[in-house]
Amino acid sequence: MIMTSIPFAQPGMAARDVSETFTSAEIFNSAIPHPVTEDFPVAADVVLPAFSVVGLNAAATSLALATLLYAPGSKATGRLVFSGVGTVDDTITIGATVYTLKAAPTTVAGQVKIGATAAETASNLIAAINAGAGAGTAYGSLTVAHPDVSAQSDAAGIVGLVAKVAGAAGNAIATTEAGTATAFANTTLVGGVDQVGVAPIGITTAPVVDTDAAQRVAIYRAGNFNPDALNWHASFDTDAKREAAFRGAPTPTNIVVRKRL
């Protein structure tokens, strides 16, 4: 049997008096935990005690305290169909970016070459949106990747759009066209859904204090941990919920949470 000493008066409580201290050895349920650590960003003004159970926020840009309830968000999508090759000066507008069909693109950003077929014009537009191969020939050489969406071929002559960030905000990205051979399925992207909660992926190795700038903190991605020594969101209010917290977590997380016997 592995025994672990927990040096606080109320083991299992998410909040503890700041005067209470403990060593990393008391966090682990095994003598040789072999923890794996990775650095992750933390947004400004976020506070996380050491040994907090954390995951990534909806934008996957910053750590936040993990919650019991979690449902992943989804990215908004759209579809543009070319029924023909298009005509010079036809426009396709995605968000604030305008793409203009041309017989021969110059350096001007957003110009897209009209192809010999609808599929070729669609392929040139996809390249322009993604800033892929063909700068200066398939599209204007000063074109940069679209800030909000990426593009793909859904079928010959059909451009599929996907918001770069999951969430309902993607549903506000406008999609309009002015031409004789193009048609969007909708006037905005659709289907974006916000993430609910934060899925656990690790445990902070050190406290994160309130600062006015973003910072980074290392988190454990593997090891055998004592649940009573960790800082949990209030939704993890039973031993069973804590022990199940990391089941199904993405690789390389391999954390076991087991109460001492």
Per-residue pLDDT of the chain (261 residues; tens, 9 = 90+): 233 333 333 333 333 333 344 455 566 666 545 566 788 999 888 899 999 999 998 878 899 999 998 888 899 999 999 999 999 999 999 999 999 999 999 999 999 999 999 999 999 999 999 999 999 999 999 999 999 999 999 999 999 999 998 889 999 999 999 998 999 999 999 999 988 899 999 999 889 988 888 899 999 998 888 888 899 999 999 989 999 999 989 888 988 888 765
- Give the pLDDT of residue 31: 53
**Strand-pair partners of 218:** 39
pLDDT of residue 30: 60
Domains in the chain: ranges and CATH: 24-71+196-257 (2.40.300.10), 77-184 (no CATH)
What pLDDT, on the 0 to 100 scale, is given for residue 260? 61
Of the CA atoms within 13 Å of residue 225, those in its CB half-sphere come to 34
Give the chain's end-to-end CA distance (angstroms, integer): 7
Give residue 261's pLDDT. Answer: 57
At 28 the pLDDT is 67
The answer for residues whose C-beta is within 8 angstroms of residue 177's C-beta and 6 or more apart is 80, 90, 91, 92, 93, 183, 184
Place of tokens 């022990």: 243
Task: Please say whether the beta carbons of 184 and 67 come within 8 A.
Answer: no
Determine the pLDDT at residue 59: 78
What pLDDT is recorded for position 45? 87
Given this model, what pLDDT does residue 9 score?
33
Contacts 24+ apart (CB under 8 A), 96-105: 97/146, 97/147, 99/125, 99/128, 99/129, 99/139, 101/179, 105/136, 105/137, 105/138, 105/139, 105/140, 105/141
